[in-house]
Amino acid sequence: METDFGGGEDVLFSRRGKAGIITLNRPKPLNAINHSMIKAIASALEAWRQDDQVQCVILKGEGRAFSAGGDIVAVYREGRAGNSPHAFFADEYRLNSAIAHYPKPYVSLIDGIVMGGGVGLSFHGSHPVITENALFAMPETAIGFFPDVGGGYLLSQLGAYGRYLGLTGHRIAAGDLAASGLIRTTVATEALPQIEAELCDGAEVDALLARHAIHIPRESDKETLAEINDLFSRATLEEIVEGLEASGSDFAKQTLEMLSARSPTSLRVTFRQITRAEGRSIDDCLVTDYRILRQMLIGHDFYEGVRAALVDKSRDPSWQPATLEDVGEDEIERYFSAPEGGDLEL
């Protein structure tokens, strides 16, 4: 049974048996999430929360990606037109919180690319499930942004490995993602239709996923993981960079090259965001994300990064400030202060 909660053709809703199904339906832009989709999904979750006939929610994506993130180009254009796009992010973060606290099983079937806003829609739910095709990243520092949507909360749980992923934006495949602990279950992509059908029939979620679970070995070797744990567990960003410079390994050289291409401001903010998130609740972290977001939207690097990566596609961002040394502590402190108008209410 099809149900309309808004969002047009970009996101589809249906009721099948005992499940409410959400399908991200923008395959060409890799299911990039826009504002109307966020509001529609929030409406659906609220309606299904109160519907005793809906025992679980299923979230999936159409096409080769689950979701590559938020529709950042649309946000860029809004900002460049003089319209502050912070309402998009406020509603997105509220949705992330609602998913994290949802009282019914929330099963995300992640088959393909999952990044940024797609992570926020799926990983905070009770049952994020990946297939062997999963490809994960929080690549925001490459566009002068930061791992929002509760990304700091998630990455802080991984210790040094989370810092590495957040700072570099490095993409990891299913084996490394499963081993990280961010997801609970890996299944074969060919099993997804059967899993969906059984959920609609009212199957107990944990037992069902356990029956279909498979193991995929890590892609990263032990030496690389040991170097990440050593270097990215250091107390400051400067110590991490110094350690990479002193290492001389191929991994260290590649990582330094990645970091040198990232926004220095984003690196400073992201390092503090992730370390600050340790031991905090998801809601605390989302409030912090909104503080950072409001400052990013009036700064330079976000718009410059999106221009270079996604609009002109010239890959030549001119960051301001241009080096880590030029980003002062006073400057970073502003990103963690309450914005004009007050903190986000969840």
**Mean pLDDT computed over 242-250:** 95
Domains in the chain, number: 1
Say whether pLDDT at 1 is over 80: no
Percentage of the chain beyond pLDDT 70 is 99
User: Which residue in 71, 92, 111, 140 is the catalytic one?
Assistant: 140
Name the pLDDT band for 327 (thresholds 50, 70, 90). very high
**pLDDT for 5:** 87
Average pLDDT value for residue range 310-322? 95
Q: What is this structure's pTM?
A: 0.96
Task: Give the domain extent around 142.
Answer: 1-346
Rounded mean pLDDT, 9-24: 97
From the candidates 70, 79, 112, 152, give the one annotated as an active-site residue.
70
- What pLDDT score does 329 carry? 84
326 is catalytic: no
pLDDT, tens digit (0-9, with 9 covering 90-100), for 109-151: 999 999 999 999 999 999 999 999 999 999 999 999 999 999 9
Q: Which two tokens stand for residue 159?
A: 């210790």
Chain-wide mean pLDDT for the chain? 96
The answer to whether residue 51 is catalytic is no
Q: Work out the pLDDT band at 81, boundaries 50, 70, 90.
A: confident
From the list 10, 71, 111, 148, the catalytic residue is 148
Q: What pLDDT, in 10s, does the model give residues 24-79?
A: 999 999 999 999 999 999 999 999 999 999 999 999 999 999 999 999 999 999 88
**In CATH, what number is assigned to the domain containing residue 135?**
3.90.226.10
Catalytic-residue membership of 159: no
| Residue 251 reports pLDDT greater than 70 | yes
What are 160-176's pLDDT values in tens digits? Answer: 999 999 999 999 999 99
pLDDT value at residue 2: 67
Q: Has 190 been annotated as catalytic? A: no
Condensed to tens digits (0 to 9), the pLDDT of residues 252-295 reads 999 999 999 999 999 999 999 999 999 999 999 999 999 999 99
Of 20, 69, 117, 125, which residue is the catalytic one?
117
